[in-house]
Chains A and B, each alone.
Chain A
Amino acid sequence: MAAKMNTGQTAEIAGPKKANVVPNPDVAAKLISRAKRPLLVIGSESTAVKTKDGDLVDTAIRVMRNEKITVVATGHLVGEFRRRGVTKAYSMGIFVLGKHLSDPDWRGFDGLGSYDAVVFAGFPYYMEWLVESGLKNFSSLRTISLERSYQPNAEWSLGWMPEPDWKDTVDKIVSRLEEGK
């Protein structure tokens, strides 16, 4: 995996504390599968991001087969899940979610407790950059970015890579999660 710490936008550089680059799909899958309550946050650009499953919404739907992982769509993206016959995805504005995630008393969407690992994909670059900045500074959550560009404010981020490599990486991560690894 040819990982580079290239930010998606030139000026959105890291602060003193910056994301670790995920070295390979296995590590990303383990970071997620070892969490007790992982949350996958899917952003509004997901329908424009092509993956081996079709697009990121299709990939998220595939992830939902692992019942341990909660999926939340931001913006109005949940409508797209519903159009594809999936009603299990939650919906929340990205910054309202960020605020909840930084509140240790939040009980999550199901009321069973907060999440311990939050995975992001499918966002306008700067919006994810900002919400991860909020979580970096005001929570102890593990945050993982699966974007094609390096997200410095996550705890773990895929590095920048060519599109085919990224598609392959995401597919492998999801496959590992399906295998329960």
Chain B
Amino acid sequence: MANRNVKLKFDELSSTLGTFKGLEIQIGRIMDEEWEEPMGPTPMPSVSTLRSWDRKLLNRYKPFYMPFCDLCCLCTYGKCDLTGDKKGACGISMPAQQSRIVLLACCIGAATHAAHGRHMLNHLIQEFGKDTPLVAALNTNVEAPHVRLVCGIKPQTIGDLEEALDYVETQIVQLVAAAHTGQEGDNIDFESKAFHAGMLDHVALEVADLMQIATLGLPKGDPEAPLAELGYGTINPDKPVIMCIGHNVLPSVDIIDYLMDHDLFDQVEVGGLCCTAHDMSRYNKRSKIVGPISWQLKFIKSGIPDLIVVDEQCIRTDVMDQAKLIGVPVLATSEKSCLGLPDRTHDPAEAVVNDLISGRSPGALVTEPRKVGEIAVKTAMAVRKRRGEKKLVDLGDLKEIASKCRTCMECIRACPNTLPIMDAMTAAKEGDYGPLAELNDLCVGCGRCESACPADLPILTMITQASKDQLVNEKYPIRVGRGAIQDVEIREVGSPIVFGEIPGVVALVGCANYPAGGGDVAAIAEEFLKRRFIVVTSGCSAMNIAMTRDEEGQNLYEKYPGNFDAGGLVNVGSCVSNGHITGAAIKIANIFAKRPLRANYEEIADYIYNRVGAVGVAWGAMSQKAASIAAGCWRLGIPVVVGPHGSKYRRMLLGDQGKEEDWKVFNARDGQEVYVGPAPEHLFYAAETLEEAMVMIAKLAMRPNDTSKGRAVKLSHYIDLHKKHYGAMPDDLHLFVRRGQDVPFTMKDEIMKILEAKGWVEDRIASPDPTLLDRMVRRRE
């Protein structure tokens, strides 16, 4: 591996050139070539290195922009009106401005994961040493597929990850600079840069998760990772409750360690929200997962937490106000989110605890993770004692509160999902709390309704209180995040995935900004598990999958195994575990197909795009991190479907199935350019309904390389879902059936009739050895 910043000092050196005194040589980096694989063409690609690859994709999937704002207000020339074909004072057009915002979103996302990784790396190197072996998955030789693919290095210790992170950070700076006034002006180049940010993001994700797996003892790709508890009802409010919110597990690890070391785990409840909760459960399954981000505000407002510990990302920025309302302190643990609190990192723990308990300070900033545990546990225990029986928030008579509703509709207009809050209030005025309770499952917990209410009604708490009987019983098992996919699993499924016999890999990832509750995610998961797809999940989606039971009281984690195989439900873990999902696609190209991995991005992406029927689904995508994760999928040729709110990312990447010239590939066997049909048809697609998404997922799993058997399997799912939800056969089958053998046997007569009506001709759609890269052609005729 590489050694960095090596210094050699000689008091005196005699050589054939002469004698040198006081010689000092400093070397930036020494490459230790233990990795036998030759360096590929694109080690540590710069911003424009993969531009031609991006343009191949973007030529097929041309952006459709839907400006979320008609103005640019990023410099003092502005605001500039960019409506239609107007240009800004700097010359920027509307398409360029929209793609510029996409780039900025992706940069924020990638920077957030990289900064998370950097914080952990610095801490874990300090605690465990940089030579700690990077062993992060059982039965696996190809650790860190993203780092190998993008950076061309083979990390073997956690210290080796520094180089990858250095590269990511340097590139993000370049990308952000491109968004400055008077820099990039072409929308497609902005898009290419967004793809670059996405690629960097997946390197950062991988780095962040691998190091925590390697050092903290998280499951190492174990399909039978243990079950942990999830749900509002898992927390016993009688005990002191520490509520950890965010995405960086290090402070929570110290809390768990302190409880273990002092034998206090039975006396204190430690619960998590959002991805910190995932990683806490991976560290110790006795910690509880309260739920996804949508539960954050509602849970705080319940009064159950006795101490709120925030680390980073997706935390309520008004957490201080919320904590004050329930009379509990806040412990901030990240420099990225200081919340106006005094830095107490270097103060004695007892002093900090005393100030928090007494209320002299509403909170404290403690940025050294190993100081958090003692402060958190002692504070929570004392605060719990102080709060006594008055801990839980009880609004009293909801009818009386609801009577103050002015029926002004401001709550409905503020609600992202236009939920019928006003109707629920009207019913509550009459003592009927059912409609309020029904909102609970649909509410994304943003709190905008309360903020908008001119009567200051505590709407969220009213919803929670109305559904209290249901909530206290909400306890679900969830298989804790297992981390990476093992090489041995890839060997098993590589062939059936690439030839299409496993109909696809569906990755349900991302946030909880759902249009109609988290049950939709579970519905998608179950539909595709029954159809023997591989379903992979992470983050809030993985939690929501747990929160739906069947009639026999079982959830999907109880019904389906955790291995990466047909019909497996694979929870990889938190947001930073998403790198393992795309990493599995990379490993299919490398391990199964034996494509060179090292710094060979284009070829691997080309392979995945044409052969691996993977589809990303972020049904509740909300954040900039979700944007950069999606962008990393796009560059690898993996289509992404988002829910309705995902349309607010302001542009889609859509193919046009009617433009035959867009769907040509090279046949690597003879160099001929041939038509392969629109597979996959779109690269970024927002579905309006759950049912539309399901049909689209099945359709986007098709790839040019499918064997006839594989294509028939994929078509049968597409047709079946289409008939179920659209009430008829799809009208574009003639674009996906290449020859008679592609037609699902049981539907042959019906389909052939449709194909004939469309003038379908056998083999007009080719079945080549598909590639978009001219250089991959092996022989030319």
Contacts and interface: CB of A to CB of B under 8 A. Distances in A.
Interface in A53-78: 74-78
Contact of B410 (A10, A80, A126): A10
B769 interface: no
Nearest to A13: B69
B122 interface: no
A127 B696 CA distance: 18
A93 to B, nearest CB: 7
A133 interface: yes
* Interface size classification for chain A: 35 or more
A108 to B, nearest CB: 11
Given A76-B726, A82-B728, A137-B83, A93 B64 contact: no
B64 to A, nearest CB: 4
Interface string B506-525: 00000000010000000000
B452 interface: yes
A136 B726 contact: no
Nearest to A132: B66
B686 A15 contact: no
B83 A94 contact: no
A74 B696 CA distance: 13
Nearest to B726: A79
Given A93-B685, A137-B67, A83 B727 contact: yes
A91 interface: yes
Contacts of B687: 75, 93
A75 B689 contact: yes
B68 A133 contact: yes
A159 interface: no
Interface residues of B, number: 43
B83 A102 contact: no
A44 B70 CA distance: 26
Contacts of A96: 654, 682
A8 B413 contact: yes
A98 B70 contact: no
Given A76-B695, A79-B725, A96-B654, A130 B648 contact: yes
A10 B66 contact: no
B257 interface: no
A164 interface: no
Interface string B72-100: 00000000010110000000001000000
Contacts of A131: 66
Contacts of B489: none
Interface string A121-139: 0011111001101101110
B600 to A, nearest CB: 33
A88 interface: no
A15 B81 contact: yes
Nearest to A87: B728
Contacts of A20: none
Contact of A76 (B68, B69, B94, B691): B691
A98 B691 contact: no
Contacts of B652: 95, 99
Given A17-B70, A75-B691, A95-B647, A8 B726 contact: no
A169 B379 CA distance: 62
B409 to A, nearest CB: 9
B689 A134 contact: no
B131 interface: no
B71 A16 contact: yes
A138 B65 contact: yes
Contact of B71 (A15, A43, A123, A127): A15
A82 B723 CA distance: 11
A95 B686 contact: yes
Nearest to A125: B418
Nearest to A15: B70
A24 interface: no
Contacts of B84: 17, 136-138
B37 interface: no
Contacts of A102: 64
The main secondary structure of chain B at its interface with chain A is mixed
Contact of A82 (B62, B691, B727): B727
A15 B685 CA distance: 25
Contacts of B645: 126
B70 A137 contact: yes
Contacts of A133: 66-68, 70
Interface string A1-39: 000001111100001110000000000000000000000
A41 to B, nearest CB: 11
A93 B692 contact: yes
With most chain A CB atoms within 10 A of its CB, the pick from B64, B69, B644 is B64
Contact of A91 (B70, B413, B686, B726): B726
A60 to B, nearest CB: 15
Contacts of B647: 95, 126-127, 130
B368 to A, nearest CB: 39
A94 B644 CA distance: 10
A179 to B, nearest CB: 32
Contacts of A138: 65, 84, 94
A130 B66 CA distance: 5
A94 B200 CA distance: 31
Given A9-B413, A94-B688, A124 B515 contact: yes
B650 interface: yes
Contact of A16 (B64, B81, B692): B81
B414 interface: yes
Contact of B69 (A15, A43, A80, A87): A15
A74 B66 contact: no
Interface in A110-153: 123-127, 130-131, 133-134, 136-138
Nearest to B79: A16
Most buried by B among A76, A79, A82, A130: A76
Contact of A79 (B66, B515, B727): B727
Given A8-B418, A15-B70, A99-B652, A134 B65 contact: yes
Contact of A137 (B94, B418, B728): B94
Given A79-B726, A127-B644, A137 B414 contact: no
B413 A10 contact: yes
A74 B688 contact: yes
Contacts of B94: 137-138
Contact of B692 (A75, A124, A130): A75
A74 B695 CA distance: 13
A16 B725 CA distance: 40
Contacts of B65: 134, 137-138
Contacts of A44: 688-689, 692
Contacts of A125: 418
Given A44-B688, A124-B688, A95 B83 contact: no
A92 to B, nearest CB: 10
Interface string B28-70: 0000000000000000000000000000000000101111111
A7 to B, nearest CB: 7
Nearest to A131: B66
A83 B726 CA distance: 9
A98 B726 contact: no
Contacts of A78: 726-728
Contacts of A43: 688
A147 to B, nearest CB: 11
Interface of A: 6-10, 15-17, 43-44, 74-80, 82-83, 87, 91, 93-96, 98-100, 102, 123-127, 130-131, 133-134, 136-138
29 contacts: A7-B413, A9-B414, A9-B418, A10-B410, A15-B81, A15-B83, A16-B70, A44-B689, A75-B689, A76-B691, A76-B725, A77-B689, A78-B726, A79-B725, A82-B728, A93-B696, A98-B64, A98-B66, A99-B656, A124-B418, A126-B648, A127-B686, A130-B647, A131-B66, A134-B66, A136-B84, A137-B83, A138-B84, A138-B94
Q: Which 4 A-B pairs have the closest CB atoms?
A: A15-B70, A82-B727, A75-B688, A79-B727
Given A123-B688, A127-B647, 10 more contacts: A10-B452, A17-B83, A75-B688, A76-B692, A95-B647, A95-B686, A96-B682, A98-B64, A134-B65, A138-B94
